[in-house]
Structure 1
Amino acid sequence: MAEPTTASTATTARIVWDTADKFLRNVVDEEDYGDYILPFTVLRRLECMLASTKDEVTKFVAALGEMPPHLIDIAVKDRFKVGFYNTSPLDLKTIASVDDNVAKSLKSYIDGFSHNIADIWVAFDFNRRAKVLADSNRLHAVIKHFSTIDLAPGSLANTAMGDVFEDVMYRAFNKKGKAAGNFYTPRDAIKLMVDILITNDDETLAGDSALRSIYDPTAGSGGMLLVAQEALRRMNEKIDVTLYGQELMPSAFGLGKADLLIQGGRPDAIKQGNTLVEDLYEGQTFDYVLSNPPFGTDWSADEKSVRDQAKVPGSRFSHGLPSTADGQMLFLAHCASKLTPASRNGQGGRAAVVSNASPLFNGDNGPTAIRQWLLAEDLIDAIIALPPSMFYGTGIPTYVWILDTNKDHERKGKIQLIDGTAQWALLRRPMGEKRREMEQRHREILVKAYEAFEHADPAISRVLAPEDFMFRDVPVFKQARLATRFREDAVEVLRSRKDFVDGHVDVLKSLDGTAWNDLPKTFPAAAKEAGLKAPMGVVDAVMKAMGEPDDEAPLAVDRKGQPVMAAGWKITERVPLSDDLAEHMEREVLPFSPDSICDESKAKHGNEIPFTRIFFAPKEPRPLAEIDAEVQKLMEELGDMFRLVSEG
């Protein structure tokens, strides 16, 4: 086998994966290879990172005696500048040198790691997986294999090791297919989010004392945190970046914490816990927040805790609660609540949060209330539509919400929509539902559109006010046009009234064809002339019974002068809050239904972000002559084929 130290990053990853694959075949399911390979990759990297100081650290820790573990961690970090350590005399090479008590030795070695990273091995379910290999007589071979791979920092820098780890994760998730989407966000999507997030911060990121905090409440494998950190350090290599994350799933937590560790991160950068139930960073806010929360995930198991939190005024969930069938808007509200407030020096917090289409327009009370809060507080800076088939677990349309507590002056009171659905290239080899990727050239188009703001190409960018997304659903009725018609069936209806007498029939006949609007006057007058009474109840009943729709008649009004609505005709007109209602009716309704009137007093207020409708561009139909010519050609071809069949 070629020495890994001389191999490229990609080759190293292939060696890690392919060689280990030989030992796992027929022992574990192929889709579970990554569950075994990733923990051993992490173990080997950590071992190589600690090798140069291990002997000294072991002696130093032994000399500390019974000091509490957390104080030992502090002492070791202060003395050796390492955030974790291992005090076991064993390593993989030593364990592999003999084939006796391999499983026991490996467990003793793992137990030798400092307590602040012990949860990684629990999350990986390492002991159980080691037992599976041991029971199949493969554990020794796997340990021996990994002990020969050089993953030392001197051979692979943190960024290069990160690339190896990413490559191995890609291979693992490719076998898991859709399941990868539960905790892994594609790097191309993350890079776009980060590029947009930091694009306006060039000046404030300069200098030797620049500080930034980055938080991900659904940290998964930690990719968003690492990509953001790398981008910031490219802009300023001296910047002090602190990462914070929280993740619920044990396997994802293990991957995330390990990935950050092998790239030089803090052992406590990611914490394990349910973000909806308990915010482990309560009271803290951050400069940047990134999140790809689960789509359409039921949160009924957390409902009691969430509802209790929502009762606290001003809390993260106090603005509204979505249906328990989909909790992604809870995460959106949470991310908004974790942003650093605007400050006088121009800084504030910015977030990039992935969602499907539902949070844009879900009309339930909870989502509507959350959107209203975001709109009213001017927290939405931009929303970007991503190409479909971008994520491992779903091919549905996805969007990135950019939130900002301190927008640039020209962006205040405005929201930019960017259509990135056409910015993609096909993946050479699909991974789960991911069939497309955004290359750098695609991301640059969207970043430039964001920077251009109101001067961007309107084909992919629109700038609107928050009020443009708020609306009134106004009931619209059609005013009836009624003529007076005498009908026997109308008389039969009126005979059911005690105050209607036979003498009224002749009165009704005399009024046939007269103006319906005049009946409140003409009917009582004619009845009086015939010596009959005409109470108001009879007048109303007569108007109702003798009114017959007639497009040539004047618009109908009742005896009080109020418009009479056409029976069975009603629509609801959605009017943007930024539109004057009278002008909207004049422009959008009356040209098509001149007799329509609206009732603003019964309007229902709401909001939506109709992204697709805003960017809809109707296509001009093909010329009829072109279609006829194509049909004629097809008919001729069919005729030729029929002749060949009949002649044959």
Structure 2
Amino acid sequence: MTNQIYNQFVSFIWGIADDCLRDVYVRGKYRDVILPMTVIRRLDAVLEPTKEAVLDMKKKLDEAEIVNQTDALCNVAGQAFCNSSPFTLKDLKSRAKQQQLKADFIAYLDGFSPNVQEILEKFKFRNQIETMVESDILGAVIEKFVSPKINLGPKPVLDGNGDVNLPGLDNHTMGVIFEELIRKFNEENNEEAGEHFTPRDVVELMADITFLPIADKIKDAPYLVYDGACGTGGMLTIADERLHQLAKEHEKSITTYLYGQEINPETYAITKADLLIKGEAVQNDSVAYGSTLSNDGFPTTNFDFMLSNPPYGKSWKTDMERLGGKGDIKDPRFIVNHAGEPDFQMIPRSSDGQLLFLANKISKMKHDTEMGSRIVEVHNGSSLFTGDAGQGESNLRRYIIENDWLEAIIALPENMFYNTGIATFIWIVTNRKEPRRKGKVQLIDATSIKSPLRKNLGNKNCELTPELRKEISDLLVNFDETEQSKVFPNEEFGYHKITVERPLRLRVNLTKENLQSFSTQCEQQKEPQVLTIIEKVAEHFNYAILKNYNDFVAQVTTVAKELGIKLPAKKMNFIKSNLTQVDESAEKVIKKLHKPAKIEPNALNGIFETEINGKQHLVEYEPDTNLRDTEQIPLLHVGGIEKFFQDEVLSFAPDAWIDQAKTQIGYELSFTKYFYKPIQLRTLDEIAADIKALEAETEGLLYEIIGGK
């Protein structure tokens, strides 16, 4: 469909709102009538050709006193839904009396099959009927929607010569029109759209990269396609069409079953309606309503192909609470067994739940089929790098890459979407990589592959023509190293995050002046026994400033034992905080002694050999939290952690060590790192030539300015 025809449809439908609803509804409430009436008219247009046959069948069923008539009527209608009322929308436009129109319109709505009744319920459309009747606009609205100037059905309207008078609307185009209407309604309400609707060219690219790499593996078999954030269902529709097209090209006979889930009641109803029109490929329970994250509609179903554009930058705090709170989530989609950790968490921050949609799809992959599963999902840039090592986002990237499921990531041009101009990326995940792709990830920079639009559609100012989509999909399928396509080993994106510690060095101030202040602290904290101990220790060290905290602790312990006073950790911390100060020239504070036979000294584990009272001991030092630092060491670093630590840390801080208990593995991806192109600066000769040229142009100008002739 051309932009002109698309804009005509949107303008016509919006014009119905302005013409009929302006004095009855505020503009922000137009959607309560326009969206459901658009769906009803689309369903009505589909059923028009078989209306008489359905009524004939109903008459026979009534005469035979058959109660459950839906299946038989749908069969006659040739659709997954039907309307058994004696009316079509065109029949109702001629009603002169509002009360008769109301009764007939309600009878018309009641005539729809149960699956359509659910759609009307989600729209809450029946609540609007009384308002429209009282305002005498119901007939006008119906008349506008059945106008011969517009065709909301999927089949074209022909003229008397058999030529196309009005083109039909396929499901995806209908969905795009709905999305544009929703966007306009949101603007009227000063609302953020929340969802970033996926334009057809991006959806078609996603379908291409989903199916083209495995086109030769398609068999005569059923295939399940899933979208966990299906919106108006356009992605399912396009994917279905593309899969059938490829199957036909390879002379295969396939059956597809489409599954989706949507949380917004309006877009859910639109999806349900469009997939009902699709008919044979859809079961009544194939579209689930509710949150995919906290109320998975298909917990036990695995799928062959999964495509989505989930909401990004959107809080999932409500879902988190429904799942039990971040610390108590046990959902096996997000808590898995990996790398020896039975409770490996892939739970991101509550402010952005987009990666959970990817984790949800990964849990639904088929592992027992030859082709496995393929996942194609759109994300913004934060999914590539947010989350530190050991955190949910990084753990999910690690889980995918270490299982060798990440096939490729494609960077799209900016301003590709209607409601956002930010950078977006397509993730391609599969559990059946080609042999040449094993252990590798392909990054494709398609940011410059675009064609400008003549007129912006929201934020969208460019598009992917069929030729450009082929160019991008060829980069994926060919798997060659080019300026726009780079291939890396999986380990390229991983790193060890180590925590580097340095010893705490404390001096102890036992001067009489400081003891006076300490005495006041002891009185306030009611610690007379502590003061007694410290006074004896200070006398032992002749009221000096000690540079060895370890000697001080030893003497405190001795005095306390002599006095029969217990010194728990709380009291020792009280002493430490009031009598000590950090001093780089002081001795290192010993935290723990180790038996030599059980452990070897090594800066990598923080165990050192030192002399105490003339004997060698293995010790563990107390770390100084103010000197604590972290380092990221690539998994592919030659020599690993030890070599990096020797070269980059110990050469500058010989007393440092690694807290191995805090070492984490993280994964992140950076397109800038691999595709950055520095600006070529001009040479000195070029700059000098420009300066000389300017000097020549301005020669004598200064003389003229100051008054020369």
| Fold match (TM-score > 0.5) | yes
User: Shift of the alpha carbon at 1:133?
Assistant: 4.2
Task: State the distance in 2 between where 1:338 and 1:39 align.
Answer: 33
Task: State the distance in 2 between where 1:543 and 1:133 align.
Answer: 82
Tell me, yes or no, if the aligned pair for 1:245 and 1:271 is still in contact at 8 Å.
yes
User: Shift of the alpha carbon at 1:220?
Assistant: 0.4
Task: State the distance in 2 between where 1:478 and 1:633 align.
Answer: 60
2:272 aligned with 1:257: yes
Residue 666 of structure 2 corresponds to 606
Q: Which amino acid aligns with 1:375?
A: I
> Which of these residues, 193, 197, 201, is aligned with residue 188 of structure 1?
201
User: Shift of the alpha carbon at 1:449?
Assistant: 1.3
2:13 aligned with 1:13: no
2:87 aligned with 1:93: no
Residue 26 of structure 1 corresponds to 22
> Which of these residues, 618, 624, 630, is aligned with residue 678 of structure 2?
618
Change (3 A) 1:583 1:161: closer
Residue 574 of structure 1 corresponds to 632
Per-residue CA shift, 1:414-451, capped at 9, x if unaligned? 22121222222333332333333233333222211111
Tell me, yes or no, if the aligned pair for 1:194 and 1:231 is still in contact at 8 Å.
yes
TM-score (norm 1): 0.75
User: Shift of the alpha carbon at 1:47?
Assistant: 1.9
Tell me, yes or no, if the aligned pair for 2:172 and 2:238 is still in contact at 8 Å.
no
Task: State the distance in 2 between where 1:95 and 1:187 align.
Answer: 35
Q: Which amino acid aligns with 1:579?
A: H
SS in structure 2 opposite 1:47? helix
Q: Which amino acid aligns with 1:349?
A: S
Task: State the distance in 1 between where 2:123 and 2:243 align.
Answer: 30
2:225 aligned with 1:214: yes
> Which of these residues, 177, 184, 188, is aligned with residue 168 of structure 1?
177
Change (3 A) 1:255 1:644: farther
Change (3 A) 1:64 1:567: closer
User: Shift of the alpha carbon at 1:174?
Assistant: 5.4
User: Shift of the alpha carbon at 1:112?
Assistant: 0.9
Change (3 A) 1:592 1:545: closer
Residue 105 of structure 2 corresponds to 106
Residue 456 of structure 1 corresponds to 481
> Which of these residues, 235, 246, 257, is aligned with residue 261 of structure 2?
246
User: Shift of the alpha carbon at 1:159?
Assistant: 6.9
Task: State the distance in 1 between where 2:77 and 2:36 align.
Answer: 25
User: Shift of the alpha carbon at 1:86?
Assistant: 0.7
Tell me, yes or no, if the aligned pair for 2:171 and 2:274 is still in contact at 8 Å.
yes
2:388 aligned with 1:366: no
Change (3 A) 1:594 1:127: same
TM-score (norm 2): 0.69
SS in structure 1 opposite 2:375? strand
Task: State the distance in 2 between where 1:29 and 1:313 align.
Answer: 43
2:380 aligned with 1:356: yes
285-294 vs 139-148, which moves further: 139-148
Residue 526 of structure 1 corresponds to none
User: Shift of the alpha carbon at 1:328?
Assistant: 1.3
Tell me, yes or no, if the aligned pair for 1:23 and 1:141 is still in contact at 8 Å.
no
* Structure 2 unaligned residues grouped into runs of 5+: 158-165, 337-344, 504-537, 545-581, 589-607
User: Shift of the alpha carbon at 1:252?
Assistant: 0.8
Q: Which amino acid aligns with 2:57?
A: F
Residue 560 of structure 2 corresponds to none
User: Shift of the alpha carbon at 1:299?
Assistant: 1.8
SS in structure 1 opposite 2:400? helix
Per-residue CA shift, 1:80-138, capped at 9, x if unaligned? 54211111112212211122133332222111101111122222332344455444433
Tell me, yes or no, if the aligned pair for 1:306 and 1:317 is still in contact at 8 Å.
no
2:302 aligned with 1:285: yes
460-469 vs 306-315, which moves further: 306-315
Task: State the distance in 2 between where 1:11 and 1:194 align.
Answer: 25
Residue 228 of structure 1 corresponds to 239
SS in structure 2 opposite 1:236? helix
User: Shift of the alpha carbon at 1:307?
Assistant: 3.8
Map 1:31-430 to 2 at 5 A.
Answer: 36-61=33-58, 64=61, 72-78=69-75, 81-100=78-97, 101=99, 102-149=101-148, 155=156, 160-162=169-171, 165-166=174-175, 168-169=177-178, 171-173=180-182, 175=184, 176=186, 179-180=192-193, 182=195, 184-205=197-218, 209-237=220-248, 238-264=253-279, 266=282, 268-307=285-324, 312=330, 314-318=332-336, 319-343=345-369, 346-364=370-388, 365-430=391-456
User: Shift of the alpha carbon at 1:222?
Assistant: 0.2
Change (3 A) 1:275 1:625: same
Task: State the distance in 1 between where 2:481 and 2:167 align.
Answer: 38
Task: State the distance in 1 between where 2:258 and 2:493 align.
Answer: 35
Task: State the distance in 1 between where 2:361 and 2:145 align.
Answer: 40
Per-residue CA shift, 1:522-552, capped at 9, x if unaligned? xxxxxxxxxxxxxxxxxxx9993699xxxxx
SS in structure 1 opposite 2:468? helix
Residue 559 of structure 2 corresponds to none
Task: State the distance in 2 between where 1:160 and 1:616 align.
Answer: 43
Residue 469 of structure 1 corresponds to 493
Task: State the distance in 2 between where 1:367 and 1:465 align.
Answer: 20
Tell me, yes or no, if the aligned pair for 1:342 and 1:406 is still in contact at 8 Å.
no
Task: State the distance in 1 between where 2:624 and 2:192 align.
Answer: 56
Q: Which amino acid aligns with 2:16?
A: A
User: Shift of the alpha carbon at 1:592?
Assistant: 11
Tell me, yes or no, if the aligned pair for 2:172 and 2:200 is still in contact at 8 Å.
no
SS in structure 1 opposite 2:497? strand
Task: State the distance in 2 between where 1:112 and 1:627 align.
Answer: 81
Tell me, yes or no, if the aligned pair for 2:498 and 2:631 is still in contact at 8 Å.
yes
Residue 527 of structure 1 corresponds to none
Q: Percent identity?
A: 30
User: Shift of the alpha carbon at 1:581?
Assistant: 3.8
Change (3 A) 1:543 1:592: closer
Task: State the distance in 1 between where 2:126 and 2:701 align.
Answer: 73
SS in structure 2 opposite 1:450? helix
Tell me, yes or no, if the aligned pair for 1:38 and 1:168 is still in contact at 8 Å.
no
Q: Which amino acid aligns with 1:233?
A: H
Change (3 A) 1:147 1:268: farther
User: Shift of the alpha carbon at 1:390?
Assistant: 2.1
Change (3 A) 1:413 1:600: farther
Change (3 A) 1:624 1:591: farther
Task: State the distance in 2 between where 1:373 and 1:77 align.
Answer: 46
33-42 vs 296-305, which moves further: 33-42
SS in structure 1 opposite 2:226? strand
Aligned length: 571
414-423 vs 17-26, which moves further: 17-26
SS in structure 2 opposite 1:182? coil
Per-residue CA shift, 1:186-228, capped at 9, x if unaligned? 212211211111111211225xx34221101111000110110
User: Shift of the alpha carbon at 1:583?
Assistant: 8.9
Task: State the distance in 1 between where 2:69 and 2:124 align.
Answer: 26
User: Shift of the alpha carbon at 1:251?
Assistant: 0.9
Change (3 A) 1:26 1:323: same
User: Shift of the alpha carbon at 1:303?
Assistant: 1.9
Residue 514 of structure 1 corresponds to none
Tell me, yes or no, if the aligned pair for 2:44 and 2:88 is still in contact at 8 Å.
yes
Per-residue CA shift, 1:257-311, capped at 9, x if unaligned? 2222344463544221221222221211111111111112222222243248975
